[in-house]
């Protein structure tokens, strides 16, 4: 089956092939926040998030180190922006990693392709997300599109149809076939299952935020300086998956060596998108609170927990 020649697919192909003409020059610093001298993190308000995680820091490090070692920056494509007429603003949809690599390299100006949210993407977030995935160039070292990325397109499309007041918000057969044609690794059966499960699992999800080491260090210091935690031993942030394993052993080992220290603070961040959802729902937080209350009752160790934001 051939893909429908929709406008955004054509634009994505033109951008990938380097023949797209609507371009501008941007200052990347307008899309980042400088958290310390020379240390930049993405400003989430200047992004259209396509993937279930805002970016892969390991991937950024890999390409950055390769460019530093070889001096070859040919891996870096132009940034792709979406322009919103109503608010007169630009947001990055293609090149989240590229923009971060460039700003790490001290490259502040960058060429950027521009598409219009209303004219080119029909004013729909689901089409914007689909377009963002279409930008992935298989000939470049980029993060491949995953099933969860395609599922986000489906859920966002349904949510938009609900918001538009459509009697039946489910995608049409034509829409599903067109999606499958462009993402053949996702079967029609899987797309149908996602549609069926939409009401049970909820709609589109915000991407999980990734934390740099500098951000984690800054957050650690801010918690240590809180008035409420005077006298507490505040342990450096760690992944949520450690809450009942290394986090507990770290506390117990410190207590054994410092028996007068009975008050602790653990700081957790989501390791992946599913954990981010669990944190927001409160299920995992209730489980952690129950376990740590038992430690307080049986061992006399008082553990407070802080959670870093998920988006």
* Contact yes or no for 154/179 (Cβ under 8 A): yes
pLDDT score, position 231: 95
Among 117, 105, 96, which Cα is nearest to 32's?
96
* pLDDT recorded at residue 3: 46
Q: Is the dihedral of CA 267, 272, 276, 281 positive or negative?
A: negative
Query: Looking at residue 141, what is its pLDDT?
Result: 45
pLDDT of res. 203: 47
The whole-angstrom separation of Cα 172 and Cα 177 is 9
Residues constituting the chain: 311
Closest CA to 152 of 123, 166, 131, 177: 131
Give the global pTM: 0.62
> What is the per-residue pLDDT for 155?
87
Regions of the chain short of the pLDDT cut 70? 1-5, 137-144, 199-208
Task: Spell out where 77-225 has E strands.
Answer: 79-84, 89-94, 109-116
Which pLDDT value is given to residue 220?
95
Please tell me the distance from the alpha carbon of residue 38 to that of residue 143, in angstroms, as a whole number. Answer: 26
Residue 46: which of 59, 29, 63 has the closest Cα?
A: 29
Q: How far is CA 43 from CA 28, 34, 54, in A?
A: 11, 9, 11
pLDDT at 2: 41
Q: Which element (helix H / strand E) includes 302?
A: strand 302-307
Question: Looking at residue 57, what is its pLDDT?
Answer: 86
């Amino acid at each position: 089956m051939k893909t429908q020649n929709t406008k955004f697919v054509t634009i994505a192909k033109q951008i990938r092939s380097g023949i797209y003409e609507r371009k501008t020059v941007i200052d990347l610093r307008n899309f980042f926040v400088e958290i310390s001298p020379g240390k930049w993190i993405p400003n989430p308000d200047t992004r259209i998030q396509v993937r279930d995680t805002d970016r892969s820091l390991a991937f950024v490090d890999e390409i950055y180190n390769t460019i530093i070692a070889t001096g070859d920056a040919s891996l870096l494509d132009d940034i792709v922006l979406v322009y919103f007429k109503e608010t007169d603003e630009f947001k990055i949809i293609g090149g989240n990693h590229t923009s971060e690599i460039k700003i790490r390299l001290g490259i502040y100006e960058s060429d950027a392709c521009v598409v219009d949210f209303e004219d080119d993407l029909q004013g729909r977030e689901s089409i914007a997300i689909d377009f963002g995935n279409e930008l992935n160039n298989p000939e470049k070292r980029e993060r491949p599109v995953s099933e969860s990325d395609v599922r986000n397109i489906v859920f966002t499309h349904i949510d938009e149809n609900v918001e538009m007041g459509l009697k039946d918000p489910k995608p049409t057969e034509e829409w599903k076939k067109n999606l499958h044609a462009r993402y053949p690794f996702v079967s029609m059966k899987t797309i149908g299952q996602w549609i069926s499960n939409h009401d049970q699992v909820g709609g589109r999800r915000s991407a999980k935020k990734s934390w740099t080491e500098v951000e984690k260090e800054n957050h650690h210091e801010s918690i240590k300086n809180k008035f409420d935690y005077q006298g507490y031993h505040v342990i450096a942030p760690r992944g949520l998956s450690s809450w009942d394993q290394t986090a507990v052993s770290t506390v117990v080992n410190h207590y054994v060596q410092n028996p007068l220290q009975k008050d602790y603070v653990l700081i957790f961040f989501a390791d992946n998108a599913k954990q981010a959802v669990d944190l927001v729902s409160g299920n995992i937080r209730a489980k952690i609170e129950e376990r740590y209350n038992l430690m307080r009752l049986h061992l006399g160790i008082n553990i407070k927990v802080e959670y870093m934001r998920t988006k």
